[in-house]
Structure 1
């Protein structure tokens, strides 16, 4: 009889170990989503403060590696490099697919070139890429220095098009310098002020094509809910198993 009791408890114990392990995994995913939500809330608050104050730093600040993941307002004069533009693929605006257009900018006060986001252009159904007009002469630019858009899991090399422009699925300045025939590129990009009369439709959104904090919070609630459901299911199955065992013993 003692051996039979042990054999009945063993499957129950294994079931609870599995349930707790799965619930712990769901809780870890929920905690990660909460962390992402908090990080993005803090980032948006910082960007809002920068945009309120708009105290311009020189364009050379884009090359400060210690600030590569933060945001600053910046302004200065210089010229756009002749040659290729960079088209960042898979960029949606108002539900329409398109590309974000970048050109390297050479600051007049020295320092490495930096990529300037000129704005968004739509793609036709046949995925014909837009023609990016050159911007000769000297220009004064101003905008938000920001980390490049997150590449996610994609690390493909940029593809040169027939007109010489580069089509990229991830904006990685260090990898784009050589194809653009530049000695280097600053780690941050300049999101051009929408009020300036050059470029294409654009905004200063720092979370384009990514999840806002509210979505991360919603996913966190779902993961925690799944963890609770796993534990509740394990509890119900355990009670049913014990009830069935008692009935068998009574019979």
Structure 2
């Protein structure tokens, strides 16, 4: 067989290998996208893992007085000594285990400074027109918690009324707080804490890794679909196997 004939047959075979070009082009466009989405989810998972490690590191440290800190940072554990006042707000539309309720934000005076303490969640009464009963100790207390930021936005009219939809700077100003940009979320072991169960991350790293696995699985499924629906690889493989079996059965 001449080289020209061999080259021509190889070219024809490669062209005949793909019989569905629209599906091939579509698969070629979708495959990089699916792989890129999987890689992006892995990167997001790594970012969330780094944030989670930072949170755990800060929360595991000993709580200190704010006066002993050079800089206030998110999730820094604090210890405050003082007393609660009757100034409080109820942060609306907060749920725990499927139940609707509020988060109680109450002013705590420590060393002459007013701090806004998130004491946790309490259930809403059956009627929307009623607010839950709020109690607090009258004696001086030592509380522990960690710093959590106040939203920098301002909602018109939000500073009026005990039921609020969002804690923002305007409400912090109306309460005359020492640190307008910070609240303190109580630790679960504080005796004035309600139901805490704080959700510090909107999604865990494992969720992003699971999403990445799904995207890569879809990419693998797309490759298999292309092989079976757009090419003749399966038919050619079967034909080669049949030819090899026939050759083995032919006496020399």
Residues 53/45 of structure 1: CA separation in 2 closer, same or farther (3 Å cut): same
Counterparts of 1:88 and 1:63, CA distance in 2? 31
Structure 2 stretches of 5 or more lacking a match?
1-14, 236-252
Matched, 1:173 2:168: yes
Aligned partner of 1:92 in structure 2 is: 96
Hey, what's the Cα distance between the residues in 2 that align with 1:140 and 1:53?
17
Contact 1:174 1:184 in 2 (8 A): no
Match of 1:190 in 2: 184
- TM normalised by structure 1 equals 0.64
Give ranges in structure 1 of 5+ residues lacking alignment: 1-5, 150-154, 244-251
2:207 to 212, 215, 232: 215
Q: Quote the Cα distance in structure 1 between the aligned partners of 2:162 and 2:156.
A: 10
* CA drift at 1:48: 3.0
Shift of 1:107: 4.4
Cα-Cα RMSD:
4.4
TM-score, normalised to structure 2's length?
0.63
The CA distance in 1 between the partners of 2:89 and 2:205, in whole Å, is 32
* Aligned match of 1:43: 51
Partner of 1:152: none
In the superposition, relative to structure 1, how do residues 39 and 33 fare at CA in structure 2: closer, same or farther (>3 Å)? same
- 1:110-131: per-residue Cα shift (whole Å, max 9, x none)? 5xx5532101112355555423
Task: Provide the C-alpha distance between the structure 1 equivalents of 2:47 and 2:26, rounded to a whole number of angstroms.
Answer: 32
Candidates 150, 157, 161, aligned match of 1:164: 161
Change in 2 beyond 3 A, CA 1:213/1:98: farther
Deviation at 1:205, TM superposition (A): 5.2
**1:246 corresponds to:** none
Distance 1:102 1:60 in 2: 24
The answer to whether the aligner puts 1:229 opposite 2:221 as a matched pair is: yes
The reply to whether residue 145 of structure 1 matches residue 153 of structure 2 is no
1:56 deviation in Å?
1.6
User: Larger radius of gyration, structure 1 or 2?
Assistant: 2
**Counterpart residue number, 1:33:** 41
